[in-house]
Structure 1
Amino acid sequence: MENPFWKVKSLDQLTQGEWESLCDGCGLCCLNKLEDWDTGEVAFTSVACRLLDGDSCRCSDYENRQATVPDCIQLTPQSVREIHWLPPTCGYRLVRDGLDLYWWHPLVSGDPETVHQAGISAQGRTISEEDVDVDDFEDYLVEWPLTVGEHAKTN
């Protein structure tokens, strides 16, 4: 049997379809983050982008997201190499680092719901940025986006 594309290709070699399929649908990259300007440390909040659908953990307007949310960071092979805050379970980060995808990733499981069933996603854990004043984001700091994979690495 042939190895799956994510085991044999670098991020730069992926087709657009392969690239898009690496997204596991967790929604963690769509959480607002706060950066300490002195240390560069990035902290996650449970405040989600206004376009994140809290149930499906998908962007509600993916094609036009950057027009609606100008500071939306588009993931590219180059940006994935530079972004240090990608969650440890992120398919882009795993492929970047030469690691395999986890059992719950839709490319492995064949089911887009396993990311939610495994407790990896932001499903049910967020509040929309439209409901929180930006000055209050610090009240929503969370650690779970950096630890979600610790209990779900094996089936």
Structure 2
Amino acid sequence: MPVNGEAMENGNSPFWKTKRLEDMTPAEWESLCDGCGRCCLNKLEDWETGEIAWTSVACRLLDDGSCRCVDYPNRQATVPDCIPLSPEKVREISWLPPTCGYRLVAEGRDLYWWHHLVSGDPDSVHEAGVSVRGRTVSEEGMELEDFEHHLAAWPGQVPRMRRPRR
């Protein structure tokens, strides 16, 4: 998959700037995930207002170090309420992180500098301080009532991203 710089050198715009979500290949679609892990954090919804409250409680399948699902192909068998993303879902779901590649492309916006398709480095999302790495607790063994003790605003915000020193 070419990164932004490579695509520009060839005189072509990167696929996320020229294709609709519906027109992407499976590989292009999957590559839009920046690996931040924010969408794998549990959210609490107020049934009366619909307001979403983020927590730092991670899905039991999220690896806190890599910020990736440990059983992505079979995740719904283990976590039935895991919502697989589709172009339609991306446009419907209000709780996708504001930095999410799927959300940005659906809104006609560009990817951030730290996205691996732009930077060419899958670790840049972590180096920029955008990922959940080292900031979560697992839901494993936790009672739902205890989630409210782990409320966090940061997953739903655009972070102050730091460029790594090289």
TM-score when normalising by structure 2: 0.90
The answer to whether the Cα contact below 8 Å between 1:23 and 1:91 also exists between their aligned partners in 2 is yes
The answer to whether the Cα contact below 8 Å between 2:55 and 2:150 also exists between their aligned partners in 1 is yes
Larger radius of gyration: 2
Q: How far off is 1:150 after superposition?
A: 3.7
The answer to whether the Cα contact below 8 Å between 1:102 and 1:154 also exists between their aligned partners in 2 is no
**Structure 1 consecutive aligned stretches of length 4 or more whose deviation exceeds 3 Å:** none
**1:62 equivalent among 69, 72, 78:** 72
Matches within 5 A, 1:45-84: 45-84=55-94
d(CA) in 2 for partners of 1:49 and 1:7?
31
Unaligned runs of 5+ in 1: none
Matched with 2:116 is: 106
Q: How far off is 1:132 after superposition?
A: 2.1
Does residue 97 in structure 1 map to residue 110 in structure 2?
Answer: no
Does residue 21 in structure 1 map to residue 53 in structure 2?
Answer: no
Matched with 1:125 is: 135
Q: How far off is 1:152 after superposition?
A: 1.9
In structure 2, give the amino acid aligned to 1:15: T
In structure 1, give the amino acid aligned to 2:118: V
d(CA) in 1 for partners of 2:75 and 2:159?
31
CA-to-aligned-CA distance 1:51-107 (integer Å, 9 cap, x gap):
000000000000100001000010000100100111110000000000000000000
In structure 2, give the amino acid aligned to 1:109: S
In structure 2, give the amino acid aligned to 1:6: W
TM-score when normalising by structure 1: 0.96
CA RMSD of aligned residues (A): 1.3
Secondary structure at the aligned position of 2:42 is classed as strand
Q: How many positions carry a matched residue from both structures?
A: 154
Matched with 1:136 is: 146
d(CA) in 2 for partners of 1:139 and 1:103?
33
Change (3 A) 1:110 1:90: same
